Structure 1
Amino acid sequence: MKIVQVLATSGGVGGLEQHTFNLVNEMSFQHEVHMIAHPCYAEKFNEHVQFHAVDFSRSRWNIMLLRQLAKLIKTIQPQIVHAQAGKASELIARIHPFLADVKIVTTVHGTKKNKSAYLVGDAVIAVSKALTQGIPEAKAHIVYNGVYPQPALSIAAKQSLKHSIEAQFPSLDSTKKIVMCIGRLEPVKNIALLIQAMQGIDANLWIVGEGSLRQSLEAQVKQQNMQDQVTFLGFRSDARDLVQLADVVVLSSDREGFPLVMVEALQADKVMASTKVNGVIEWLPDEYLADIGDVQGLQQAIKNALESAASADFEKLFTRAKNELTVDAMAQQTLKIYEHLLKA
């Protein structure tokens, strides 16, 4: 099978980008996969992937971008063109009349009121059940995000990593449990809500990630006199190792598609508390969920997660995540959709 994947973002690496890197690399072991993406992502793909650099920082209305994309796809002559997320789907929708004998697949990664661009697809994949809203049932498919399993750290490695963090932040009480949040410090993640919810909880909060709100969030911590409880670790390339130090992993977002943080936490056997965002509500038990924006509800969900009995509630989820939320499962389900389209 000859497949073209299109990723039209141009800079950051979040869940959408990581999903695409993993999916494309995995598929390339079985099929001829061409990746059309911004040059900044070239090193994210293995040697089996045929990478084509396109400057997607240009507007989705840019006629030169549309022409370049159409010409490139016609040159490759794929059987499948798969557009990842909104901008890529809009671009493919505009050049679709020039792509003969090609099956189109689009993937919805986040909450969108207008899904018209995605409907150009012969099949539309959503990364959570909630995201299928507005998509005709005949076209809609659900494929959850998956990740590669992270090797478990030894006890000695965990202790060494924990000590290295505590050495940087000596004001933290090392005897307290660790509540961990991993994500961009941007409005959609609503870390301010989480900081409020942690008031009065006898645990430390480790915030892993960078973003435009860091300064205001640090000011909030000082204003609430939580400097001895909350620490900002910034961007960490070892975030998936850090998860293994957590007692509870928390999501306080206002919006999500299907958060990879949840996948990584469950695969690491970590209990969670979260707001009721897409994807999460399909997995976590009710007592560990809070309404979006609800400080008291999130505080109670965190308290529930810190209880020793919480692990029993999550035991089946840990096993299910290891079986279902993998890159291999994600790739095989996607390939079955392609094969079905080509047989139709």
Structure 2
Amino acid sequence: MKIVQILASSGGIGGLEQHTFNLTNQLAESNDVHVIAHPCYAEKFNENVQFHAVDFSRSRWNIRLLWQLKTLITQIQPQIVHAQAGKVSELIARIHPFLADIKIVTTVHGTKKNKSGYLVGDAVIAVSQALTLGIPESKAHIVYNGVYPQTALSVDAKQSLKHSIDQQFPHLDSTKKIVMCIGRLEPVKNIALLIQAMQGIDANLWIIGDGSLRQSLEAQVKQQNMQHQVAFLGFRTDARDLVQLADVVALSSEREGFPLVMVEALQADKVMVSTKVNGVIEWLPEAYLAEIGDSTALQQALKKGLESTALADFEKLFTRAKNELTVDAMAQQTLQIYERLLNK
């Protein structure tokens, strides 16, 4: 099968981008897969993928961008064009009349009030049940995000990694349990809420990630006199290893599509506490969820997650995540959607 994946991001790597890298590389193991994306992502695709560089920093109304996209797709002559997220879907909708005999698939990755741009797709994939709202039932499909299986660290490797963090942040009590937050330090992640919820909880908070709010979040920690409890680790390439040191992984977002941090936490056998964002509410037990923006409820969920009995509530979820939330499962389900379209 000849497939074109299109990613319209122009810098940065979040859930949308990682999803596209993983799906494209996996599909390329048994299909002729091309990807059209910004040149900054070229190294994220393996040697089986044919990469076509396009500057997607331009407006979705840019005539040259539309012409370049139409010309590339026409030259490749794929059976399937898969548009990842809203910008690509709108671009494809504008050049759709020139793409005769090509099946279009679009994927909704985040909360959007207006999903009309996605409806150019012969099939519309949503990464969580909630995101199918507004999509005709005849077109809607749910495919959860998946990640590659984690390599479990040895006891010695865990101790060495923990020791390196303890040395970097000597002001923390290294004997305390660890609540871990992984994400961009941007308003949508609402990490200020998590810091507020951690007040009075006998555990350390490790914040992994960077962004525009770092300075204000550090100021909040000082203002709340929590310097002894909170560490900002910044951007880390070993975040998946660090997850294995957590007692609880926490998410305090205002909105999500289907957060990869939840997938990675569950696959690492870690208790997860979260606000009630899309995707999460379809997986986690109610006792470990808090209303969006409610610091008191989030604090209660964190306390519950730190109890010794919490692991028992998650055992079945850990197994389910290892079976269902994988790149292979995601790719196989996506291929089945492609095949159904081509057989119509």
Instruction: Tell me the alpha carbon deviations over residues 142-172 of structure 1, each in whole angstroms, 9 at most, x when there is no partner.
Output: 0000000110000000000000001011010
CA distance in 2, matches of 1:299, 1:129: 27
CA distance in 2, matches of 1:96, 1:138: 20
For the aligned residue pairs, the C-alpha RMSD in angstroms reads 0.3
In structure 2, the partner of 1:266 is: 266
Overall identity of the aligned pairs, in %: 84
Instruction: Tell me the alpha carbon deviations over residues 187-241 of structure 1, each in whole angstroms, 9 at most, x when there is no partner.
Output: 0000000000000000000000000000000000000000000010000000000
In structure 1, the partner of 2:343 is: 343
CA distance in 2, matches of 1:158, 1:29: 33
In structure 2, the partner of 1:198 is: 198
How far is the alpha carbon of 1:19 from its aligned partner?
0.2
In structure 2, the partner of 1:245 is: 245
- Matching of residue 101 in structure 1 with residue 118 in structure 2: no
CA distance in 1, matches of 2:75, 2:100: 12
CA distance in 2, matches of 1:90, 1:238: 35
CA distance in 1, matches of 2:48, 2:286: 43
* Partner AA of 1:88 in structure 2: V
CA distance in 1, matches of 2:48, 2:151: 24
**SS of match in other structure, 1:97:** helix
Instruction: Tell me the alpha carbon deviations over residues 113-153 of structure 1, each in whole angstroms, 9 at most, x when there is no partner.
Output: 00000000000000000000000000000000000011000
The aligned runs of 1:114-153 (5 Å cut-off) are 114-153=114-153
In structure 2, the partner of 1:225 is: 225
- Matching of residue 285 in structure 1 with residue 285 in structure 2: yes
In structure 1, the partner of 2:316 is: 316
Instruction: Tell me the alpha carbon deviations over residues 256-307 of structure 1, each in whole angstroms, 9 at most, x when there is no partner.
Output: 0000000000000000110000000000000000000000000000000000
How far is the alpha carbon of 1:60 from its aligned partner?
0.4
CA distance in 2, matches of 1:101, 1:188: 39
- Matching of residue 71 in structure 1 with residue 77 in structure 2: no
CA distance in 1, matches of 2:263, 2:183: 13
How far is the alpha carbon of 1:325 from its aligned partner?
0.1
* Partner AA of 2:207 in structure 1: I
**SS of match in other structure, 1:245:** coil
CA distance in 1, matches of 2:315, 2:308: 12
* Partner AA of 1:318 in structure 2: F
TM-score by length of 2: 1.00
* Partner AA of 2:246 in structure 1: A
* Partner AA of 1:90 in structure 2: E
**SS of match in other structure, 2:334:** helix
**SS of match in other structure, 2:244:** helix
CA distance in 2, matches of 1:88, 1:194: 33
**SS of match in other structure, 2:163:** helix
* Partner AA of 1:338 in structure 2: Y
- Matching of residue 111 in structure 1 with residue 111 in structure 2: yes
Q: How many residues align?
A: 344
The aligned runs of 1:53-72 (5 Å cut-off) are 53-72=53-72
TM-score by length of 1: 1.00
* Partner AA of 1:153 in structure 2: L
**SS of match in other structure, 1:287:** helix
